[in-house]
Structure 1
Amino acid sequence: MIGRLALRTVRGRTTSYIASAGAMFAGTALLTAFAALAETGLADRLEALTMLAFIMGGWTVVIVAFGVVSTVSLVVQQRERELALLRTIGTTPGQVRRMVVLETVAVAIPAVLLGILPGIGLGSFVHDRIAGLGVIVGDDLVATWRTALAGAAISLVAAVLASIFAGRRAARVAPVRALAEADSPDRVLTRTKLWIGSVFVLVGIGTGAGTLAMPNGPLLAASAGPACIATAIGLALLSPAIVAAVGRVVSGPAGSAGLALRNLDARASRAGAIVGPLTLLVGIAVGTLYMQSTEDSTAATRPPDDVSAQLAAANYMVVAMIIAFCAIAVTNSLIAATVNRRREFGLLRLTASTRQQVMGMVAVETTVLALVGIVLGSLAALTTTIPYSLVKTGSPVPSGPLWMYLAVIAGAVVISAAATLLPTLRATRERPILALAG
C-alpha cells in the first residue's frame, strides 16, 4: 500500500521530483567522470591524473551530496501539508518515513542509472583534453564496472540518506502544526543543521588558516581549495537563519516588496534550500578561479614552465565542471520551489493582487535571496583567496581581473531570475481558481 502510494505521489508531483532527479543525474555523471579518471590514472600509473582526480573528486563527493540533499529536502518540505493529512487519517510516523524513502528511491534509481553513461563520456572528454594539453601521456580512458559503481553508489547513498533525515523530520511534525504550513521560528534552523553548519565553517576557516603555515609549493592548492568549499557548505546550512533575520530586519516596506520580505521571514527554511546551492556556486567559483589566477600571475614572473601552464588549463576545465553542477543544482531548486507556489499565487490573485504585483513580489524575493547567496558565497571564497594569495604573493588581495568576479555574480543573478520569474510568469497566466484546484 505504502509503495503504491509513493509511486502515485511521484507521478502527481512530476515537476518537483524532476528537480531532484536532475541533481542526481548530474551528480552521478560528474562523480562517474572523476571515478573514470582516477581508475585510468591508477591503471596507467599517471601520477598527475590520479592526484587531480582524487583531490578534486574527493571534494566533488561532498558538493554532490550537498546538492542532492538540498533538492530532496526541498521536495519533502513542500509536502508537509500532504504528509500531515496522511497523519490525520491514521498513517503512522514509520509509514511516513518509509513512503518518503520509497519515493526518493523510485526517482533516484533511474536518474542514477541514466547518469552513468554520460559520466563515462564526460570522463573520456576530460581525459582527451588533458592529454591534448600534454599533462599526461597515456592510452584511452579506462572505465570498468568499478567506475560505474562508484559514481552510482555515492549519488544513491546521498539520496537515501537525505530522504531518511527529511522523512524523520516530516514524521515528527504534529499534524495540526504541519497543516498550518508556516515555518515557525523554532523550525527555521534545527539543532542538527546548526551544529553541522558550524563545524563546516570552522573546518573551512581552519583549513584556510592552515594554508598560511604551508610552504609555497604544489600542495598549497590542495589545502587552500577545500577551505572555500567547506565554508560555503557551512554557511549554506546556516543560511535559513540568515534569511529569516534579513526578512525581519527589512520587513518595513508596503506593497509587493513588504509581502516578499515577510514571506522570506515566514518561509526561511525553504528559502535556505535555495540560498544554499547559490552560496556554494558563488563560493566555489570565486574561490577556485581566483586561486588559479593568482597561481597564473606568479607563474608569469618565473621562467617559462610548460607543465604549470598545462596543469592550470586542466584545473580550469575541472573547476568548470564543478561549477556547472552547482548551477544545475541552483536552477533545479529554484524552479521546483517556484512551481510549487501555484496555489499561493492563485490565492493572491483572488484577493485582488494583480499579475504585476505577484511578479513584483517574486522579483523582490529573488533579488534578496540572490544577494544573500552572493554575500555568503563571497565570504566563503575569502577563506581560500586570502591565505593562498598571502603565501603566493605576500598580499591578501588575489591576482586576477575584476570582471571574473562580476561574471560570477552576473551568472548567479541571471540563473536566479530565469529560474523564478519564468515559472512565475507561466503560473500566473492560468485562471486563479484553476491554480487553487491544482
Structure 2
Amino acid sequence: MLTLAWQTVKARTSGFIGAFVAILCGTALVAACGILMESGFRGGVPTQRYAAADVVVTGDRTVRPPGGDVLAFEHAAEQPAIPAALATRIAAVPGVKGVVPERTFPAVVVGPDGQAVVDKPSFGHNWESAVLAPFTLTQGRAPAADDEVVLDSGLAARAGTQVGGEVKVMTRSAPVSYRVSGVAEGRGDRQASVFFSSAKASELAGRPDQVSAIGVLTTGDVTDRIEDMLADDHVTVSTGADRSAAEFDDVSQTKAILALIAGSFGGYAVLVAIFVVASTLALTVEQRRREFALLRAVGATPRQIRTMIGLETLVVSLAAGVLGSLLSIAVSHGLRSAFAAIGVVPHDFALSISPIPLLAALLIGLAAARVAAWSAARRPSSIKPVEALGEAAIQRRDLGRVRLTIGWVLLAIGAAATTLPLFLRGQLGAAMSVMAALVLIIGLTLVGPRIVGGAVRLIVPMFSGSVSGYLAAANVTKNSRRLAAAVTPLMLAIGFAVVNFYSQTTFTAAVHQETVKSITADHVITGPAGVPAEVAEAARTLPGVTAATSLVRTQVITASKTGDSVDVNRGPANGLDARAGNTVDLGITSGRLEDLTAGTVAVSDALGKKVGDTAEFWFADGQPARLRVVATYEHDLAFGDHVLSAADARAHTTAGTDSAVLVEAGTTAALQNLISRYPGLTVTERITAQDQGDQRTQFLLNLVAVGVILGYVAISVSNTLVMSTAARRREFALLRLVGTGRRQVVRMMRVEALITVGLAAALGTTVAALPLTLLAIGFTGTPLPTGPIWVYLGVLAGAALLGVVSIAVSTRLSLRAKPVDTIGIRE
C-alpha cells in the first residue's frame, strides 16, 4: 500500500502541491513559535555585571498561588529584594570561596550641561560588587568616603568628568555632589554604573537589611547544594546564561513575555494550521472522487481507501514537515527582529535553537495532516460500490447532520460570546471578541455550503443577463460546496484581520477616553527616569496649589479559582496619595479616597468587593498582600482594578520613585522653579498623564502576530483558489468544444471570482461586525468601533485582489492547452 501511495503522489504531483504548501508553511510557523518559547526559557544576552560570578542568587519573580497546577503562575514585574543574612548561610556551603552581596538602585548622573545623562539605564551599586563583573580600576582608587564615587569609563566620558572632579548624582532626591575617586572599566555597555562606598550604597538603597542580589564565587559545581539550602527562601539560583535575566530587568521580562507570546501565538498558529491543512486536503480528496469511486467499484474496501489516503498524506506531510521545520529557523529570527523593532524584546536578545521545537512542530504537522486525511477519507471510503460511479458523476450537495449540528451550535456559542464585552472590562473583554469571531468563523465553515447556497440563489439572477454570467450563475448554483471552499479562507482572512485590528483600537480608545475623563489635574510633572517622591510633598507647599498627589504606575498579580483550576493574571494598578484632591476622578461608588493609606486599597466595582473587605493579591515584586478595602470605583480602564497608596506602590518597585506628580491649581512658573532642582523633570498642562506605552506595545505585538498568521492564510487562500480552478480544466475544455469562446470562459470565471470575493467580504464583515459592535457599545458607549476606516477598506481590497488574481491566473493557465487535448486527460 505504501508503494501505491508513493506512486500516486509521484503521478499526481500537481494535485498534492496545495497540501504540501499548506503543511510546509503551517509547520514553519508552529516551529518558529516553539523556538520563541524555548528562547523564553534558555535565550538571553551575554552576562555583563555578573560575568565573574559562578552563581547569582536573586528573589524569585515567579508567583504561584496555592492550589494551582504547574501552569498556574505569573512573572512579577519588579525584581524582589532578598535578606542580606542569606549571604552568611551561602558562605557556609562547601565549595563556596566567596560571597558578594550587591545593592542596586537608580542613580542618574547630571552632565556638564545640567541635564540628566539618561541615554541608557543607570544604576548605583556598592563598590564591593564590582568584582562580580569584574570592573577594574583604570584610574584613581575605590570610594572610601560617603562623598566619593567611581564611574564606569563610558559614563565618565559622557558626564565630562575625570578623577578628582566633581559630579552630581540624582538617586531618589535632588542631585548631590560627589567627588570622582576613580574610573573603572567593565564588560558590556547595556547599563551605566555608579559605585558608592558600602555604607553610602546601603543608605541610598533604603533597605539596610536587604540586598538586590548575591554573587557567589565557587571552586566547583555547588549549585545544587545552594538550591537545596535555599529551597524554602523563595529565591532563584541562576548560573550560565540565566545570570543575564538576574542582571537585566528587560531580559527577565523578555523571557517571561516570549513564553506567553509563543504560547498564545502558537495556539492560534496551530488552530489556523489545522484549519488550513484540513480544508486543503478535503479539496484534494474531493477533486479525486471519481478515482475513489472507481476503486470502490472494482472491489477496494473502505479500509483500503482510508489507508491509501492516509499514506499519501503521510508521504506529503513528512516531506513538507521536514522542510517547514528547517524553514522555521529563518521565520523565528524574522519574528524576533519584528518584536525587537516594536520594543517587545531587546535588540541583542539571542534565540535558543534546539531540535526539540522542530521535532514537536513536525509531529504536530503530521498529526494535523493525519486527522485531516481521516476526515477527508470518510466520504469516499463509505459509499457502497454500486453507488460509486453515480456518486462520482455529480457533486454531493447535502451536508451531514452531525456537521450541520456542530456548525449551528458553534454559531450560537459564538453569537453568545460576542456579548461578553458588555460585562467584562479590560483586555479580557477585547480578547473575548477575537475568540468569539473565531468560533463564528469555524461555525460558518461547517455550515458554509448551506449559507453560501442560500446566498447564491438570491444574487445569481443579477448575473444571468449574458452567456458568461449565465454560465457562472449555473456553476455556483450547482456547485455551492466548491464555492464555499473558495469563500471560506477569504472570509477567515477578512474576519480575523478586521476583528484583531479594531478590537485593539477600540480598547485603546476606550482607555484613552476614560483616562482623559479621570485625570483632572491642571499640571503634570514627569521625568524620563521617574520623579522623586519628595517632589509631590514640595509641590503641596507652593502658593496657589490646592492638591498634589504622587502617581505610581505599577502592576499586581491576582488569582481566581474556577472549579478545580486556578487562574493567575497580571494587570495594571496605580498608587495615589490620600490627599489627591481633585487631581483625579476614579468614579468612586462607595467609601472615600481620603482613607487610602498604607495597608489599604481601593478596588474597581468589577471585583465585587465592598468597603471593609480584604483584597488579596501580590505586589509588583511578587510579595503577597492582604489589604483592607476603603473605596470602590468604576473607572477601571484608566486605573486598573487596584489603586494602592503611593507609599505601598513605591515600596514594591525597584526604582522607588513616582511615575508622575499630579497638581491642582498653582502656577506653571512656580512649578518650573521647583523642578529646576531636578534635572530632566518637565511640567505639562492638563494631559492624560497615563502611560500608554504598554498598550501601544501590545497593539503592535498583535499586529505582528496577526500579520504573520494572515500571511499564512493568504498563502492558503491563493493555494485553495488555484487548486479549485485548475481542477476544472476538463470542464473548460468541454465548454470550448461545445462552442463557448475562450473569452466567454474567462469572463465566466471573472464573474465567479466577483461572486466569491463578494460573498467572502459580506460574510467576513458580518463575522467581524457583531463582536466589534458589542465591544464598542460595552467599552465606548457607541456602536461603531474606533479606528481608521482605510484599514477595513484595505483588508477588503487585499482580499479581493488576492482572490481575483488567483482565479484569473489559474484560469488563463488552464486555458493554454488545446481543448481536444485537455478533454482526454484524467481528472
| TM-score of Structure 1 vs Structure 2, range by shorter chain | over 0.9
* Distance in 1 separating the partners of 2:360 and 2:416: 30
Equivalent residue, structure 2, for 1:123: 332
Equivalent residue, structure 2, for 1:93: 302
Equivalent residue, structure 2, for 1:276: 488
User: How much has 1:169 moved relative to structure 2?
Assistant: 0.8
Equivalent residue, structure 1, for 2:788: 401
Equivalent residue, structure 2, for 1:243: 452
Report if the CA contact (8 A) 2:501-2:703 is conserved.
Answer: yes
Relative contact order (alpha carbons < 8 A, sep ≥ 6): 1 or 2 greater? 1
User: How much has 1:175 moved relative to structure 2?
Assistant: 0.8
Equivalent residue, structure 1, for 2:311: 102
Matches within 5 A, 1:14-413: 14-43=13-42, 46-137=255-346, 139-173=349-383, 174-180=387-393, 182-186=394-398, 189-215=399-425, 217-252=426-461, 253=464, 255-298=467-510, 302=688, 303-413=690-800
Aligned CA distance change for structure 1 residues 204 and 87 (closer, same or farther; 3 Å): same
* Distance in 2 separating the partners of 1:346 and 1:116: 40
* Distance in 2 separating the partners of 1:34 and 1:226: 20
**Residues 221-279 of structure 1: per-residue CA shift (max 9 Å, x gap):** 33222221221121122211122223334444252212212211222222222111111
* Distance in 2 separating the partners of 1:204 and 1:60: 20
> Partner letter of residue 192 of structure 1?
V
> Partner letter of residue 30 of structure 2?
L
> Partner letter of residue 175 of structure 1?
A
User: How much has 1:348 moved relative to structure 2?
Assistant: 0.4
* Distance in 1 separating the partners of 2:479 and 2:282: 14
Report if the CA contact (8 A) 1:232-1:376 is conserved.
Answer: no
Aligned CA distance change for structure 1 residues 211 and 55 (closer, same or farther; 3 Å): farther
Aligned CA distance change for structure 1 residues 243 and 94 (closer, same or farther; 3 Å): same
> Partner letter of residue 334 of structure 2?
F
User: How much has 1:375 moved relative to structure 2?
Assistant: 1.2
Report if the CA contact (8 A) 2:721-2:807 is conserved.
Answer: yes
User: How much has 1:298 moved relative to structure 2?
Assistant: 4.2
Report if the CA contact (8 A) 2:407-2:445 is conserved.
Answer: yes
Equivalent residue, structure 1, for 2:562: none
Report if the CA contact (8 A) 2:733-2:819 is conserved.
Answer: yes
Runs of 4+ with deviation above 6 angstroms: none
User: How much has 1:52 moved relative to structure 2?
Assistant: 2.4
**Residues 3-60 of structure 1: per-residue CA shift (max 9 Å, x gap):** 2332222223222211111111111111112222222234466333332222232222
**Residues 117-161 of structure 1: per-residue CA shift (max 9 Å, x gap):** 222322222223323433234731223333113322222211111
> Partner letter of residue 353 of structure 2?
A
Q: Return the index of the structure with the highest Cα Rg.
A: 2
Instruction: Give SS of 1:419's match.
Output: helix
Aligned CA distance change for structure 1 residues 120 and 386 (closer, same or farther; 3 Å): farther
| TM-score, normalised with respect to structure 2 | 0.50
* Distance in 1 separating the partners of 2:266 and 2:490: 20
Equivalent residue, structure 1, for 2:5: 6
> What are the ranges of 5 or more consecutive residues in structure 1 without an aligned counterpart?
none
Report if the CA contact (8 A) 2:296-2:388 is conserved.
Answer: yes
Aligned CA distance change for structure 1 residues 306 and 322 (closer, same or farther; 3 Å): same
Aligned CA distance change for structure 1 residues 50 and 388 (closer, same or farther; 3 Å): farther
Report if the CA contact (8 A) 1:72-1:163 is conserved.
Answer: yes
> Partner letter of residue 503 of structure 2?
M
**Residues 336-375 of structure 1: per-residue CA shift (max 9 Å, x gap):** 1111111110000000000011111111111111111111
Of stretches 44-53 and 60-69 in structure 1, the one that deviates more from structure 2 is 44-53
Of stretches 241-250 and 112-121 in structure 1, the one that deviates more from structure 2 is 241-250
* Distance in 1 separating the partners of 2:812 and 2:338: 41
* Distance in 2 separating the partners of 1:79 and 1:425: 22
* Distance in 2 separating the partners of 1:392 and 1:119: 38
Of stretches 315-324 and 149-158 in structure 1, the one that deviates more from structure 2 is 149-158
> Partner letter of residue 261 of structure 2?
L
* Distance in 1 separating the partners of 2:401 and 2:469: 31
Of stretches 192-201 and 342-351 in structure 1, the one that deviates more from structure 2 is 192-201
Q: How many residues end up aligned between the 2 structures? A: 433
* Distance in 2 separating the partners of 1:221 and 1:40: 28
Report if the CA contact (8 A) 1:389-1:395 is conserved.
Answer: yes
* Distance in 1 separating the partners of 2:41 and 2:429: 23
Report if the CA contact (8 A) 1:231-1:383 is conserved.
Answer: no
* Distance in 1 separating the partners of 2:417 and 2:808: 38
User: How much has 1:192 moved relative to structure 2?
Assistant: 3.0
Aligned CA distance change for structure 1 residues 120 and 299 (closer, same or farther; 3 Å): farther
User: How much has 1:107 moved relative to structure 2?
Assistant: 0.8
* Distance in 2 separating the partners of 1:98 and 1:308: 51
* Distance in 1 separating the partners of 2:260 and 2:433: 16
> Partner letter of residue 471 of structure 2?
L
* Distance in 2 separating the partners of 1:328 and 1:353: 32
* Distance in 2 separating the partners of 1:170 and 1:21: 21
Report if the CA contact (8 A) 2:277-2:372 is conserved.
Answer: yes
**Residues 357-406 of structure 1: per-residue CA shift (max 9 Å, x gap):** 11111111111111111111111112432233233322221111111111
**Residues 293-344 of structure 1: per-residue CA shift (max 9 Å, x gap):** 2234346554342222222222211110011111111110000111111111
Of stretches 385-394 and 100-109 in structure 1, the one that deviates more from structure 2 is 385-394
Report if the CA contact (8 A) 1:247-1:262 is conserved.
Answer: no
* Distance in 1 separating the partners of 2:355 and 2:273: 21
Instruction: Give SS of 2:823's match.
Output: helix
* Distance in 2 separating the partners of 1:57 and 1:396: 32
* Distance in 1 separating the partners of 2:392 and 2:338: 53
Report if the CA contact (8 A) 2:468-2:744 is conserved.
Answer: yes
Matches within 5 A, 1:419-438: 419-438=806-825
Of stretches 425-434 and 70-79 in structure 1, the one that deviates more from structure 2 is 425-434
Report if the CA contact (8 A) 1:204-1:383 is conserved.
Answer: no
**Residues 193-219 of structure 1: per-residue CA shift (max 9 Å, x gap):** 21232233233223322232112x233
